[in-house]
Structure 1
Amino acid sequence: MSEDRANDAVMRLSSLPRRDAHKVNYAPDEAGLEAIRERLKIEAVSSARLEGQLIPAARRDWRLEATITARATQACVVTGAPVETVVSENVVRRYVEDWSEPEETEVEMPQDDTAEPLPAMLDLSDVLGEALDLALPEFPRAEGAELGEAVFAAPGVEPMRDEDARPFAALKALREGGGESGSGGPH
């Protein structure tokens, strides 16, 4: 394996020797963490690292096998309170020289979703940002935060609640209320 690529964010793939795997160890500085935070539109990214190896594959193709570790803060979707998430995810990307974009407007997802076009320059900060974006919860919730029941109605109209929409809610109300005569039975 070749030398450590510590904190090299951009790698020119065509200039890398293809006889060995290349160690990748990228941790953005404060400005890089801020750029990831802005890109993902979240509260904070206090740490992030992409560590693994870049392995030569067929002809001029490359395979990235790495792990991202990160600590990020998002706003709770219910309360807005900060929610911290610790991420540790494996990342696999294949950079393929003979990549071709599908020409049809509707395309089936390929079974191998790790393949991408071979870039001239591989930006590890982009790889880290994309992987972190996929790993973070889409709807983060603070501990104990519950989404309450939203009730809306026009002025003067009693709002319909979730309970009212249940099929047997009216029958249950009649049974418990006993109907108009109060006997609870048929008339």
Structure 2
Amino acid sequence: MPADNKPDSRPEFSRPRVVEALSHKHPTGFDEAPTPDEAEALRALLGLLGLRKFRFTGEISPLRRDEWALRGTLGASVTQECVVTLEPVRSRIETEVLIHFVPPAKMDDTMEERDFDETQEPLGEVIDLGLIATEALALALPPYPRKEDAVLDMPDSSDDGADEKPNPFAALATLKDKLGKPQ
């Protein structure tokens, strides 16, 4: 923590673009990758064993005077723990990112269920490409990484039943009987 005892609120990977500085005539391209320190911070944030070849490329295009479209491709090589063996599992992530930035007032108008557009995001003063890339990576990670040959050994259910757990409803029935009978 910083000396003032407040948590550090800076994102692990930030590449802000000021909306007013974007061209209204043609798309603004981008090609972003984290520094080694940022990659390490992202690895820790996402609970990864490893993060390599992280790159976010694309463009921000004007749609209307106050609306923008971001189209990009995110690529990364990640290493996670296998959910069965806890051994490292490597995966290549390649995902497309599409976001339609609109003024917050227009978001309220289109939030009816029939018109809901999951690509819409409220437009602020800044579009942070690093935060967008971090979110896209988090959503694209395999939720249950597993080595190809990993096998989960399950106990045989045809045992003699010695380890059988008591039925909680049987215990409730016994309690009901005890409470229902006068002493």
Normalised by the size of structure 1, how large is the TM-score?
Answer: 0.70
Q: Counterpart amino acid of 2:101? A: Y
Gaps of 5+ in 1: 1-6, 161-187
Q: Counterpart amino acid of 1:159? A: D
1:44 partnered with 2:50? yes
Instruction: Compute the displacement of 1:65 (Å).
Output: 0.5
Identify the residue that residue 101 of structure 2 maps to in structure 1: 95
Cα RMSD after superposing both structures: 2.7
Instruction: Compute the displacement of 1:51 (Å).
Output: 0.6
SS at match of 2:20: helix
Structure 1, residues 3-57: CA drift from partner, whole Å, max 9, x if none? xxxx981111122121110111111111121122122122121121111110011
Q: Counterpart amino acid of 2:154? A: E
SS at match of 1:130: helix
- With over 3 angstroms needed to count, the CA separation of the structure-2 counterparts of 1:144 and 1:108, relative to structure 1, is farther
Identify the residue that residue 163 of structure 2 maps to in structure 1: 159
Identify the residue that residue 130 of structure 1 maps to in structure 2: 135
Instruction: Compute the displacement of 1:150 (Å).
Output: 5.0
Match of 2:87 among 81, 89, 96: 81
Structure 1, residues 73-109: CA drift from partner, whole Å, max 9, x if none? 111111111111101111101111134469x9xx959
SS at match of 2:23: coil
Q: Which has the higher contact order (CA 8 A, sep 6+)?
A: 2
- With over 3 angstroms needed to count, the CA separation of the structure-2 counterparts of 1:150 and 1:11, relative to structure 1, is farther
Q: Distance in 1 between matches of 2:156 and 2:124?
A: 51
Instruction: Compute the displacement of 1:110 (Å).
Output: 6.1
Identify the residue that residue 121 of structure 1 maps to in structure 2: 126
Gaps of 5+ in 2: 1-12, 165-183
Q: How many residues are treated as equivalent by the alignment?
A: 148
Q: 1 or 2, which has the higher helix percentage?
A: 2
Identify the residue that residue 146 of structure 2 maps to in structure 1: 141
Is 1:24–1:52's contact at 8 Å kept on the other side of the alignment? yes
1:25 partnered with 2:31? yes
- With over 3 angstroms needed to count, the CA separation of the structure-2 counterparts of 1:142 and 1:28, relative to structure 1, is same
Instruction: Compute the displacement of 1:62 (Å).
Output: 0.9
Is 2:51–2:78's contact at 8 Å kept on the other side of the alignment? yes
Is 1:151–1:159's contact at 8 Å kept on the other side of the alignment? no
Q: Distance in 2 between matches of 1:151 and 1:36?
A: 41
